[in-house]
Amino acid sequence: MASVARRLGTMLYLVSPNATTFEKPEEVPLYVNEAVPIFFGLVLLHALMRLARGHEVRMNEVLTSSGIGILHEAASFISEGAILLGYEWLYKYRVLDLPWDSLYTWWAAFFFVDFCYYWVHRANHEVNLLWAAHQVHHSSEDYNFSTSSRISIFQRMTYFGFYHPLALLGIPVSSVMVHLGLNYLFQFWVHNEDIGKLGPLEWVFNTPSHHRVHHGANKWCLDKNYGSVLIIWDRIFGTFQEEKEGEEIVYGLVDQPQSMNGVWHEIFYFEKIYEKARSMSSWGDSLRAVFYGPGWVPGAPRLGDPDGFPDVRAPRGKYDPQMPAWFLAYTGLHLFLALLAQQMLLIHLKVSPWYTVAIFLSFIFLTVGVLGSMFDGWRWAPLLEAARCAAFLLYARATPVSGAPMVDAALVLCFAMSAVFWTSQSLLVIGSPAKAVKFE
């Protein structure tokens, strides 16, 4: 229970500075990964509570967001190192020499990491290439706990360089790592529609009310409320917007993609940037298409002309492919198995050969991509799902997956039944003249 309470505390920034101060980077706990079980438990609990209160819970959207979150964590060992690459080298040229175990250093790291997050978050909205990664987080048309997990595998890479000035201020890398993790986890609870305004706390802290505005596609919501823990940066730099009573927020992107495929969400916008840059009549405009705002067009200001943006208002129809309960349960089970694969990969990462890491990553990406393709009705998805399950069986024959015989036997049975089922389904689909799959 003490461990659960501690992990819940990290998700709300309710931690003791003494207990979250470390001398060496390798001593810093993996706060985000430690919170993963609690995170998914709260996502499930939140969904059940909303159902009990008569609110709509679209499980296709919850499962899609969860799948994208699993991708993000699976690739974290690659992208995480990119955030602070070169930080310790720059730290040699620091102006100040702040002790790693000082309370002042802890609080300096708290404020400056949050300050830097404001700017990296703002840049993610104002630079089209960075937006290609960040738009994944805004692509959910619902707003609940699962939305917080909808983060691109490229997201952490966009942070490179933004936190490096803290090295020159003399903040040790271990302090920055602690607050990066806690800052990230704090953002979980602000993704919900059930908590209203929180009185005086709204003046200082980011809250669900403030962050609901940030996720809105309504014109008055665009590019507002970038803060993570503190909202004071938005108030200082002119990007704050109060939530409007009586005006419904439309969640999602202004030009909302019609897909539940998490892997497709990761990459489709890069193609859009390429097409936009290629359509320009000069090299200068091609570069502006990449590095100016997503709404920029030739002749417009750097971030585009707000008067030309679509005025999105409620109600707006949502992409909502209807799937039978058995398929939702199947998807939930296999995403859970993909999550277990991600956890196993992280545990054994340092002792695993590169090809084992590649196999695990491929399995996780295929799981999310293929299941999402079936939500979208892609004709070849059942055949690919059968192949994915068969590939697992081939791997499991030669290599124990979990090391526990009973668990491995259960996994083999599960994937064998899945392979047989989807093989039969794919034969029916291939023989059908219909171009899309529909399950009953």
| Alpha-carbon distance values, 394 to 367, 416, 423 (Å) | 16, 10, 16
Q: Report whether 249 contacts 220 (CB < 8 A).
A: no
Q: Rounded CA gap, 135 and 132, in Å?
A: 6
pLDDT at 432: 62
Q: Report whether 373 contacts 384 (CB < 8 A).
A: yes
Q: Report whether 314 contacts 250 (CB < 8 A).
A: yes
Q: Report whether 357 contacts 349 (CB < 8 A).
A: yes
Q: Rounded CA gap, 319 and 36, in Å?
A: 28
Please name the residues in contact with 387: beta carbons below 8 A apart, sequence gap of 6 or more. none
- What angle do the packed helices 31-52 and 2-11 form, to 10 degrees? 90
Q: Which of 247, 188, 189, 237 is nearest to 213 (CA)?
A: 247
Which region among 165-169, 238-242, 251-255, 348-352 has the lowest average model confidence (pLDDT)? 348-352
Which H or E run contains 165? helix 165-168
pLDDT at 399: 81
Q: Report whether 234 contacts 118 (CB < 8 A).
A: yes
Q: Report whether 175 contacts 99 (CB < 8 A).
A: no
Higher pLDDT, 343 or 140: 140
Helices (H), 279-378: 283-291, 325-347, 354-375
pLDDT at 1: 58
Mean model confidence pLDDT for the chain:
91
Helices (H), 169-224: 173-186, 201-204, 208-214
Position 109 pLDDT exceeds 70: yes
Q: Which residues of 31-52 are buried (b: 16+ CB within 10 A; e: fewer)?
A: bbbbbbebbbebbeebbeebee
Q: Rounded CA gap, 439 and 331, in Å?
A: 13
pLDDT band at 379 (very low <50, low <70, confident <90, very high): confident
- Count CB neighbours of 311 within 10 A: 9
β-sheet bridge partners, residue 436: 378
CA angle 217, 218, 223 (to 5 degrees): 65
**What average pLDDT score do residues 285-298 get?**
95
Q: Which of 368, 373, 419, 378 is nearest to 397 (CA)?
A: 419
Q: Tell whether pTM > 0.75.
A: yes
Side chain identity, residue 129 = L
Position 437 pLDDT exceeds 70: no
Residues 201-260: pLDDT tens digits? Answer: 999 999 999 999 999 999 999 999 999 999 999 999 999 999 998 899 999 999 999 999
Say if residue 290 is exposed, middle or buried (CB neighbours under 10 Å; 0-12, 13-18, 19+). middle
Q: Rounded CA gap, 237 and 239, in Å?
A: 6
| Distance from the first to the final alpha carbon of the chain | 43
Q: Rounded CA gap, 248 and 212, in Å?
A: 10
Token digits for 193? 């529609």
Side chain identity, residue 32 = V
Side chain identity, residue 182 = L
* Positive or negative torsion for Cα 127, 208, 233, 105: negative
Q: Report whether 125 contacts 131 (CB < 8 A).
A: yes
Q: Report whether 183 contacts 20 (CB < 8 A).
A: no
Q: Report whether 155 contacts 134 (CB < 8 A).
A: yes
Q: Report whether 59 contacts 328 (CB < 8 A).
A: yes
Higher pLDDT, 400 or 256: 256
Residues 129-149: pLDDT tens digits? Answer: 999 999 999 999 999 999 999
